[in-house]
Amino acid sequence: MDQDLKKDEQTLEENVQSVENKNVAEAKKSEDEAVATVNFNAMERGELLEAAKELLKNPSALAIKESIESIKQTFYRKLKAENSAKKEVAETVPDALETEFKAVLAQYKEKKAAENKILEEEKWKNYELKKQVLDELEKLTESSDDLSETVNAFRKLQQEWKQIGQVPQEKVTPLWKLYSQYQERFYDLIKINNELRDYDFKKNLELKTNLCEVAERLASEEDVLIAFKTLQGLHEEWREIGPVARDLREEIWQRFKDASKVINKKHQALFQLSKEEEEALIKEKEAICDKIEAMDLTQKSHKKWENNTKVIIELQNKWKEIGAASNKNERKLYKRFRSACDAFFKAKSEFFKTIKKEFAANLEKKKELCEIAESLKDSTDWKETTEKFVALQKEWKTIGATSKKQSDAVWQRFVTACDYFFDQKDKNFSGKKTEEIENFNRKREIIAKIEAFERTGDDAADLAALKALSAEYNAIGHVPFKKKDALFKAFKKATDLQFEAFQKIKNDVKKASAERNKLMKEYTTLRNEIATYENNIGFFAASKKAKNMVEEMNKKIDALKEKLADIEKKIQEIDNSID
């Protein structure tokens, strides 16, 4: 093969390196099944969603790639326009169509990934097959067999080479160079005659001319995606066709290259943002950066950090949905965006490291309170220990939070000790309540005896018997507070009826009873007041100010107890006078 042929092959190789590594043959077979001729711009988003679903029925992801990408860009362009309109009247809400559309895209990506995996495996198999062809070609270049047999073998290997599918992109150039090298060697080795070369040149010219005509007709194709995809197939065919005559090589290649430029420019323009769209996109991404950069990175609220994290994630998702600007602008914007996000998450990490240390310190403080509470829980000094437990509970509230993992356990430990003490305290005081109920029942029995009392005729003896019952009644201790008034009324009514026959005694008893009743009410009031003060003392913390208040209350309690003792003495005197 002469130097012109070699130059033609090198020129062709430089062109094919720019062609996408797609399985064009399979894509062309499935082209009729794809919804490539549909005008997606005229569809609503719901129709675009259904079109995408229909495309997924195609067994080949490569066959629907361009259509899916076109639907995706149209869908989000329309969504962006709708959201811009909504912002003028109300807050935008999550879009159900977008959610479903994303699910369809996810299915497509899975399908494409699976298909790409299979294609990649096939490419490596094809790579091995082409290496075998190259080995055979190398043998032919070293063969001294009959020319006619060698040429036939050479043609057969060329045919096998063409029939083998795609190989990994990184192996295309090395393989092609070896293939061209062995062809050149073969032509040089066998010194193929001019007639055979001219025949090949003529045949190759016809094939390449036909490809030029097809490429030129693609300029009138309305669907740019179909035109571009078809052009890739033409470039694959061009690559497999051999050289043409030296004086026609540059001309035919320029014709094919010019036709290709027309389609490539249309394809590039289809996906290139207008200047206005570029500026709007930049402003939208700058606004996202502004929001992230404006966030307070010194805040101390756990909830605010979590809320802001959700906002960051939403802004990151929005960034992806907006799409990319031109390469230069996108790199600059993304650097700013990434820097702002990194600063936020770094500050958040530092905050939670600090919080973790505080949680650990708070946990130790609470454990100390648990130990104190556990040491006090068995105490029977109800008054003093109650004050201590109230102080512990108040101190517990002043300690900050602990980790969720430890919080429940340490709280349960503390409250268990507190509950145990107060349960024991309640049981102790419940015994007093039982005694009051027993006193109530005994007084009811005496009232019943007074009510059923029958006179014997001996007024002195009868009066003495009634006084004895009254004295027995008065000697009984306290009854439940809520029942004391009704019980006393029953007692007074029973004694009044019995003493009606003893007018003088009755008047004295009645007067004494009235006085006694007055004193009893005052006695009860004082007891309740003392109980209230004693109960309140247990709720004060052990501070200096609270200590003064407790001392003041104790003085009041002592004064009230002295007054109570005086009233008890007067009641006893009245009881003795009745006797």
Do 467 and 459 touch, CB atoms closer than 8 A?
A: no
Q: What is the largest CA-CA distance in the chain?
A: 169
Q: In the predicted model, what is the mean pLDDT of residues 65-90?
A: 81
pLDDT, tens digit (0-9, with 9 covering 90-100), for 357-403: 888 888 888 888 889 988 988 888 888 888 888 998 888 888 888 87
% of the chain beyond a pLDDT of 70: 84
| pLDDT attached to residue 18 | 36
Which residues, other chains included, contact 467 with Cβ-Cβ below 8 Å and sequence gap of 6+?
578, 579
Q: In the predicted model, what is the mean pLDDT of residues 462-484?
A: 84
Which residues, other chains included, contact 252 with Cβ-Cβ below 8 Å and sequence gap of 6+?
205, 208, 209, 212, 244
Using the predicted structure, report yes or no on whether residue 11 has a pLDDT greater than 60. Answer: no
Which residues, other chains included, contact 80 with Cβ-Cβ below 8 Å and sequence gap of 6+?
322
Do 13 and 45 touch, CB atoms closer than 8 A?
A: no
| Cα–Cα distance for residue pair 75/186, rounded to 1 Å | 55
Phi, psi dihedrals of residue 217, rounded to the nearest 5° = -70, -25
| pLDDT attached to residue 92 | 53
| pLDDT attached to residue 341 | 92
How many other CB atoms sit within 10 Å of the CB of residue 439? 17
Please report, to the nearest 10 degrees, the dihedral formed by the alpha carbons of residues 517, 523, 527, 532 taken in order. Answer: 80
Which residues, other chains included, contact 567 with Cβ-Cβ below 8 Å and sequence gap of 6+?
519, 522, 523, 526
Which residues, other chains included, contact 495 with Cβ-Cβ below 8 Å and sequence gap of 6+?
450, 466, 470, 509, 513
Do 164 and 126 touch, CB atoms closer than 8 A?
A: yes
| pLDDT attached to residue 175 | 86
| pLDDT attached to residue 507 | 63
Highest mean pLDDT among 17-26, 337-346, 351-360: 337-346
| Cα–Cα distance for residue pair 65/71, rounded to 1 Å | 10
Give 272's pLDDT tier (boundaries 50, 70, 90). Answer: low
Q: Is 323 left (phi over 0), alpha (psi -120 to 50) or beta?
A: left
Q: In the predicted model, what is the mean pLDDT of residues 143-171?
A: 82
% of the chain beyond a pLDDT of 90: 12
What tokens were used for 454?
A: 């029958």
- Judged by average pLDDT, the poorest of 208-212, 288-292, 360-364 is 360-364
| pLDDT attached to residue 212 | 95
- For residue 391, the Cα-to-chain-centroid distance in whole angstroms is 40
Spatial CA neighbour of 317 closest among 35, 62, 10, 99:
99
pLDDT, tens digit (0-9, with 9 covering 90-100), for 97-121: 889 999 989 999 998 898 888 888 9
Contacts 24+ apart (CB under 8 A), 188-197: 188/1, 189/141, 190/147, 190/150, 190/151, 192/151, 196/151
pLDDT, tens digit (0-9, with 9 covering 90-100), for 502-545: 655 556 666 777 888 888 888 888 888 887 877 777 666 555 56
Which residues, other chains included, contact 183 with Cβ-Cβ below 8 Å and sequence gap of 6+?
1, 137
| pLDDT attached to residue 150 | 78
Using the predicted structure, report yes or no on whether residue 154 has a pLDDT greater than 80. Answer: yes
DSSP string, 405-453: HHHHHHHHHHHHHHHHHHHHHHHHHHHHHHHHHHHHHHHHHHHHHHHT-
Do 478 and 439 touch, CB atoms closer than 8 A?
A: yes
Find tokens 């150039």 and name the residue: 173
pLDDT, tens digit (0-9, with 9 covering 90-100), for 302-334: 788 888 999 989 988 988 888 777 777 888 888
| pLDDT attached to residue 339 | 92
Spatial CA neighbour of 530 closest among 567, 487, 488, 500:
567
What tokens were used for 336?
A: 């700013």
Mean model confidence pLDDT for the chain: 80
Give 29's pLDDT tier (boundaries 50, 70, 90). Answer: very low
Give 148's pLDDT tier (boundaries 50, 70, 90). Answer: low
